[in-house]
């Protein structure tokens, strides 16, 4: 039998999957920010309350989540839905002290964001600022990056050069001598970077669009 707790837990997992709090999910869906708050899950008399079908539909639309995924979130076994993933701003990623030479997050100064468990324990999140990566990623989007994931042509990646530049691009071609990168924004040209100038390259797994 479907329970109130299952539905509300699925809403929480949906929010975490999108890198947001329950109130952030409501705002993204164009709802009152308190729609999914804990206080709205019971009536004044203490009876459990269901979320409206409309609010669920708007949340799914806002996060681009198919109904079958929401059903999976409902049917979760109740285990940990998320884990803490290190988070910094994209603009900070070029500064020293946040990554080792292999592109793995190190040091202090990282915030955290709740995210559904990924197989790479070294995965981290970057918050986009500005408009240089539109329309792929917009200001305020969060992207989750895996330094251990295999990379293939066509994957979106984050690249850091030995000069400290950090960029998000699409991998066009990779050879022993160079890496060819396609820009995500037509206002910015494609790049060809000598292999020796690349400090590390990591695959983008997910974005909170």
- DSSP SS3 for 24: helix
Is residue 160 within 8 A of residue 200, CB to CB? The reply is: yes
32-76 confidence digits (pLDDT tens) = 989 999 888 998 888 999 999 999 999 999 988 888 888 888 876
CB within 8 A of 52, min separation 6: which ones?
none
* Model pTM score: 0.61
Cα(70)–Cα(10) distance, rounded to whole angstroms?
7
- Tell me how far CA of residue 89 lies from CA of 19, 144, 174, 175, in angstroms: 14, 12, 27, 30
Q: Which of 131, 140, 151 is nearest to 204 (CA)?
A: 151
pLDDT at 151: 93
* Element housing 67 (H / E): helix 67-74
Q: Phi-psi bin for 140: left (phi > 0), alpha (psi -120 to 50), beta?
A: left
pLDDT per residue as tens digits for the range 106-157: 888 898 876 665 667 888 999 988 888 888 888 888 888 999 888 999 999 9
Domains and CATH numbers, the chain: 4-74 (1.10.260.40), 84-207 (2.10.109.10)
């Amino acid at each position: 039998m479907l329970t109130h707790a299952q539905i509300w837990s699925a809403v929480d997992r949906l929010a975490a999957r999108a890198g947001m709090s329950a109130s952030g999910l409501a705002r993204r869906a164009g709802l009152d920010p308190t729609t999914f708050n804990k206080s709205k899950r019971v009536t004044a008399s203490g009876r459990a309350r269901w979320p409206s079908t409309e609010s669920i539909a708007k949340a799914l639309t806002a996060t681009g989540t198919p109904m079958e995924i929401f059903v999976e979130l409902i049917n979760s076994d109740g285990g940990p839905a998320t884990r803490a993933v290190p988070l910094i701003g994209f603009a900070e990623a070029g500064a020293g002290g946040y990554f080792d030479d292999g592109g793995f997050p190190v040091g202090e100064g990282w915030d955290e964001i709740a995210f559904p468990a990924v197989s790479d324990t070294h995965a981290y999140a970057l918050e986009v600022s500005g408009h240089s990566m539109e329309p792929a990623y917009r200001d305020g989007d969060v992207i989750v990056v895996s330094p251990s994931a295999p990379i293939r042509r066509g994957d979106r990646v984050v690249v850091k050069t030995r000069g400290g530049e950090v960029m998000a691009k699409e991998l066009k071609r990779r050879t022993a001598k160079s890496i060819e990168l396609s820009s995500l924004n037509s206002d910015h040209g494609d790049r060809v970077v000598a292999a020796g100038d690349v400090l590390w390259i990591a695959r983008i797994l997910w974005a909170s669009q």
